[in-house]
Amino acid sequence: MPLVSVVIPMYNAEAFISGTLDSILQEQTVDLEVIVVNDGSTDGSLNKVLAVQDHRIRVVDGPGKGISASLNTGLAAVQSDIVMRCDADDQYPVGRISAQVDWLSKHPDYGAVCGGFSTLNTNDRLITQFQPHNAPQEITHELQNGITSTHFCTFAVRTQVLRAIEGCRHYFKTAEDIDVQLRIGEMCRVYYLPEVFYQYRLHDASITHIQSNSEREFFSMIAVELQRQRRLQGSDDIQRGCPPALPQSSEKEAMKAGEHIQQLLIHRAWQEHQAGQKIQALSTAARSVMTQPMTITAWSNLLALCIKPSGQKKNLKSDRS
């Protein structure tokens, strides 16, 4: 039996799925299975998967009922001790799987380990990195207090933990990953390693950029609220059979990938400036301008970076409203 199962929910990811599989299958030191949940793709995604000649890949049909149901279908097919998730348009960095397996094997009192992640554009170019903690540490307590600091796809979780919490909850159209992280923190101890364990791609067809901001914010807020209910009352509204009413309309448009990338680059530029890396900061700020040249905020930040001495704090400007 394999030691690790990587579950990939897939819907119309023809442009990226081959690269996703390559990044995972490069692992040769760990007994591995890759479960691709084909959730009704209508493009050439499935053909791309079937063209990869590797016995470690298994394809299962998804129910076509959203991301949570797709992930649970993959979880039901798992035959291993450890589960990881990878979305069909993202990638794993070299050595990620073996590093997390090694850590969990040495720390049997922990049910999950996670880390930082980076963001990529459609050409595999690095946008920025997110490492919320600079040192290795247990994060069980912060999860139990409703704080999620990293992406769920950086997690390696013991299968018995995910099955004990019954996987994802179908109520969540999005932010199911936040809800899962919080419930994992209630079930077992979780550790954070300050390494990049995931490469998250930003593009307009991703789920992040096709859902409205208001819908995404609603489900993220509900995940934290439900966790608060469990902490204070022992159960939440979903468990009691009275889930919160879903929003009737979306008041905000979805954030486009270009806008998201620009905001991340502006933030990264100011981090580099604060660290005394002025030339690098100006280069990053120039990239932010080129992403969407008509955005005044990007130009004003570039000008401010030129004028302000490096190594000094500055409030980041943002055009969010």
pLDDT tens column, 269-301: 887 788 888 888 888 788 778 777 888 888 888
Instruction: Average the pLDDT over 28-38 and give the result.
Output: 97
Give residue 309's pLDDT band: very low, low, confident or very high (50, 70, 90).
Answer: confident
**Number of domains present in the structure of the chain:** 2
Q: Within the chain, how many helices (H) and strands (E) appear?
A: 12, 9
Count of alpha carbons within 13 angstroms of residue 188, beta-carbon side:
23
pLDDT tens-digit series, residues 237-261:
999 999 999 877 655 566 676 776 6
Q: Distance between CA 23 and CA 9 in Å, rounded? A: 16
The residue range of the domain holding 129 is 4-209
Tell whether 227 is covered by a domain: no
Checking if the pLDDT of 128 tops 90, the result is: no
Q: Does one domain contain both 264 and 203?
A: no
Q: Which two tokens stand for residue 84?
A: 């990881």
pLDDT score at 71:
97
Tell whether 314 is covered by a domain: no
Would you tell me how many other CB atoms lie within 10 Å of the CB of residue 294? 7
Last residue of one domain, picked from the residues 209, 239, 272: 209
Q: Does one domain contain both 276 and 204?
A: no
